[in-house]
Structure 1
Amino acid sequence: MAKSRETFNKKEKEKLRQKKKQDKQERKDARKSSDKSTDFEDMIAYVDEFGNIVDTPPDPAKKKKEIDVDSIEIGVPKYVATEEDNAPRKGKVTFFNESKGYGFIKDEQSQDSVFVHINGCVDKIQENDKVTFETEKTPKGLSAIQVKLV
């Protein structure tokens, strides 16, 4: 007589498969039985003036701010040169490499670091010298010209 090919392990796996199938069917039946008929009004959400999602519609009686449309700037405003841009500035040479001919000046007012080349110097400068200079717009940023010792 032939021995049955079903082992204990196979029986256990089959039981688990059947249990999963039954659980899945029960969940499906539960979803169908608890079918909520949702109204469109229940699904709507509103956004308040602070950007938060709320359930209540906005109150039209609230005061609305009038905004001048022409005052809104999109993008970066154009740079307008002022008279103080061309005025001589004062600063201190923080770094200067004589062999390469360039360095940096720290502006006293804005604390910005401005590039300086030896061609833009009137006097010979070294590190830690106090200087006056004018600036010029270059493709790589501001550059100091007319650099003179104080």
Structure 2
Amino acid sequence: MGRAQESFGKKENEKKRLKKQKDKLEKREERQANAKKGQSLDDMLAYVDENGNISSTPPDPTKKKEIKTEDIQIGITRREDMEDEDPVRTGSVTFFNESKGYGFIKDAVSQESVFVHVNGLVDRIKENDKVTFEVEMGHKGPSAVRVKLAAV
């Protein structure tokens, strides 16, 4: 009978395993040598200053600000707290490609560019037309819908 066959791959895997085990043991011994045993509680504490940075010194009690719990707001503002703005906006068509069926409208008030698709049109539009529209969130952001030519 012959002895067990050891391939080159098996030998390499065994070498890697032994090296990894040795490295792990060396790291553990290094951590134990550098461990600071018997630290006091004060040495282990960390403080956060008024800017949110971590420091080893406690904050200055003279800089302490009193905040009322009623003033703290967690979350978003309620719907009734927000002012209702007119959903119908006005603007001008800056670009419109009829063959591809999309374009952009520049809002007259906020000067933001809003995407418009041919499916959101009520009237036919072309570049530089004055239009009224409403904004709804589409798949990739705000999109103009119910786009009509503005009465001149």
TM-score range, shorter chain: 0.5 to 0.7
1:122 to 2:122 alignment: yes
Partner Cα separation in structure 1 for residue 78 and residue 94 of structure 2: 28
Cα deviation code 1:109-136 (max 9, x no counterpart): 1111111112221221111111111122
Give the letter for the 1:117 counterpart.
H
Secondary structure at the aligned position of 2:105 is classed as strand
**1:49/1:134 Cα in 2 relative to 1: closer, same or farther (>3 Å)?**
closer
Partner Cα separation in structure 1 for residue 84 and residue 146 of structure 2: 17
Give the letter for the 2:65 counterpart.
K
Contact 1:85 1:135 in 2 (8 A): no
Percent pairwise identity = 56
Write the mapping of 1:138-149 to structure 2, written as runs, cut at 5 A.
138-149=138-149
Gaps of 5+ in 1: 1-38
Secondary structure at the aligned position of 1:91 is classed as strand
Partner of 1:71: 72
- The worse-fitting range, judged by mean Cα deviation, of 40-49 and 120-129 is 40-49
Give the letter for the 1:143 counterpart.
S
TM (norm. structure 1) is 0.54
**1:65/1:117 Cα in 2 relative to 1: closer, same or farther (>3 Å)?**
same
**1:78/1:85 Cα in 2 relative to 1: closer, same or farther (>3 Å)?**
farther
Displacement of 1:140 after TM fit? 2.2
**1:109/1:42 Cα in 2 relative to 1: closer, same or farther (>3 Å)?**
same
Gaps of 5+ in 2: 1-38
How many residues are paired up? 109
Over the aligned positions, Cα root-mean-square deviation in angstroms equals 3.3
TM (norm. structure 2) is 0.53
Partner of 1:134: 134
**1:79/1:43 Cα in 2 relative to 1: closer, same or farther (>3 Å)?**
closer
Write the mapping of 1:42-81 to structure 2, written as runs, cut at 5 A.
48-50=49-51, 51=53, 53=55, 57-60=58-61, 63-68=64-69, 71-73=72-74, 77=76, 80=79
